[in-house]
Chains A and B, each alone.
Chain A
Amino acid sequence: MSKDETVGSPDIPVATTVELFDRAVRDHSRRLLAIARAIAGNRASPEDVVQQALTNLYQHRDRYDWREPGGLMRRSVVNEALRVLRQPKMTAVSDEHPGQLITPMGGMIDRETVERVRQAIDRLPEHFRAALVLCEYENMAYSQIAEVLGASIPQVKTWLHRGRRQLAAMLEEFGPARQMIPGNARADRAGEEKRH
């Protein structure tokens, strides 16, 4: 690995491409794994997906600017996850079970509920899943999602809308979403009692 492959401008300390790549992998690996898991589900190991995506990037590292690698790595992982899903033979991989999660609404969502939502997400078509994770987890704009997924903005909006509707339909049997969040459910019950 040559140390003379450098990038940088006069006002930015010069670091080698390899150093920047290493740093980018360390900084982004957690979120990239989550994206890979969201898209590939249990049909591929998220580690394998991320590793393949990033080593592909490393092979052509001189083509990219490694000072802002987030979008590049995200795009690569999404594409790799979608590619893996298109492969005919895949073995299911075991998954970690989530524990209880504290939500921004102040409630504790139990593991079972999260698992139900995850299963519902997993049943969505792959492009719906990819669009959703990029929009809601990565907070990307429609235009950015369209670029990553190689689609038009209206197409992305359609995927997102349909994905959300399908999720709502899949989770309908468990009641309204607001009642699946403990804090909200308590507030709803208190409101009901007040009205009576």
Chain B
Amino acid sequence: MNAIGEFDSELLEDYLDDALSPGQVEHVARRLAEEPELAMAMHELRAARVLRAAAWRSLEPSEARAAALARRIAEVVWQDAWRRGARRALWASGSIAAAAAVFVVGWFLRPTVSPEVRQLSHSVRANVQPSKPALLSVDPVAGYHVALVDRNGKLMPVQKFSKADDARQFARDLLQYEDRRREAEQGGAMLVSDHF
């Protein structure tokens, strides 16, 4: 090894590493055939590689150890996946709980309809037609109210009027509009104005 220079030593290592071009390989092969010192150096380099190869192989663990590691990694990965899933579930359940809390708070804070109005609404609903959306109710203390109910009978916002005539007119208009809308839905023509 000492007999050859640095450059040749590097050249031989490159040759053994398959890092030379075909032309360089040919050149080295020719020199190896012609120069015994270079051939001896190459022999020594190959031997050193054999020793190192033995050292590399000795670093390889047993199959059982490698399999144990693979299991360990799989376990870590599954634990991680489980943790992520649990975090997602926790987040989802937290969201549901928050939504439920908002709903409950909203339910208790919703605008209340006075018992008189509700009672009148019920009575008018019973007297008129159950499917009518507009119901007239009269609250002598606070004015005149038109309580709106939808088709399912649920109470909707209450429109307040100071005059009974205005309240009646509003209720009439609504009922009229609703009748026409229903006719239009059933295929009939819809009047857009009463004034011709």
Nearest CB in chain A: distance from B20 CB, A = 11
Say yes or no: A118-B66 contact (C-beta < 8 A), given A51-B72, A54-B73: no
Q: Are B59 and A38 in contact (CB under 8 A)?
A: yes
Q: Are A121 and B1 in contact (CB under 8 A)?
A: no
Q: Does A74 contact B (CB under 8 A)?
A: no
Nearest CB in chain B: distance from A35 CB, A = 8
Q: How far is the CA of A30 from the CA of B85 in the complex (A)?
A: 31
**How big is the B interface, by class?**
35 or more
Which of A37, A54, A133, A180 contacts B47, CB < 8 Å? A180
Nearest CB in chain A: distance from B103 CB, A = 30
Q: Are B52 and A167 in contact (CB under 8 A)?
A: yes
Q: How far is the CA of A31 from the CA of B66 in the complex (A)?
A: 9
Q: How far is the CA of A21 from the CA of B56 in the complex (A)?
A: 25
Q: How far is the CA of A37 from the CA of B67 in the complex (A)?
A: 16
Residues of A131-163 at the interface with B, using a CB-CB cut-off of 8 Å, are 132-133, 135-137, 141-142, 157, 160-161
Which of B50, B56, B67, B80 contacts A34, CB < 8 Å? B56
Q: Are B49 and A136 in contact (CB under 8 A)?
A: yes
Which of A55, A59, A114 contacts B55, CB < 8 Å? A114
Q: Does A84 contact B (CB under 8 A)?
A: no
Q: Are A141 and B19 in contact (CB under 8 A)?
A: yes
Which of A55, A103, A142, A168 contacts B48, CB < 8 Å? A168
Q: Are A177 and B55 in contact (CB under 8 A)?
A: no
Say yes or no: A30-B63 contact (C-beta < 8 A), given A113-B51, A136-B53: yes
Nearest CB in chain A: distance from B76 CB, A = 6
Q: Does B43 contact A (CB under 8 A)?
A: yes
Residues of chain A contacted by B142 (CB below 8 angstroms): none
Q: Are A33 and B44 in contact (CB under 8 A)?
A: no
Nearest CB in chain B: distance from A120 CB, A = 8
Q: How far is the CA of A104 from the CA of B53 in the complex (A)?
A: 9
Q: Are B19 and A178 in contact (CB under 8 A)?
A: no
Residues of chain B contacted by A168 (CB below 8 angstroms): 1, 48
7 closest cross-chain pairs (CB), A and B: A98-B58, A178-B47, A1-B81, A30-B66, A177-B48, A177-B47, A137-B56
- Not counting A47-B72, A114-B55, a sample of 18 additional A-B residue pairs whose C-beta atoms are within 8 angstroms of each other reads A18-B77, A26-B67, A33-B66, A51-B72, A55-B76, A55-B77, A58-B77, A96-B61, A101-B54, A101-B58, A109-B54, A121-B55, A136-B53, A137-B53, A161-B10, A167-B52, A168-B1, A177-B44
What are 14 A-B pairs at a CB distance below 8 A?
Answer: A25-B73, A26-B70, A34-B57, A38-B56, A50-B69, A50-B73, A51-B69, A98-B57, A101-B58, A103-B50, A109-B50, A113-B54, A176-B44, A176-B47
- Chain A contact residues, CB within 8 Å of chain B: 1, 18, 21-22, 25-26, 29-31, 33-34, 37-38, 46-47, 50-51, 54-55, 58-59, 96, 98, 101, 103-105, 109, 113-114, 117-118, 121, 132-133, 135-137, 141-142, 157, 160-161, 164-165, 167-168, 171, 176-178, 180-181, 184
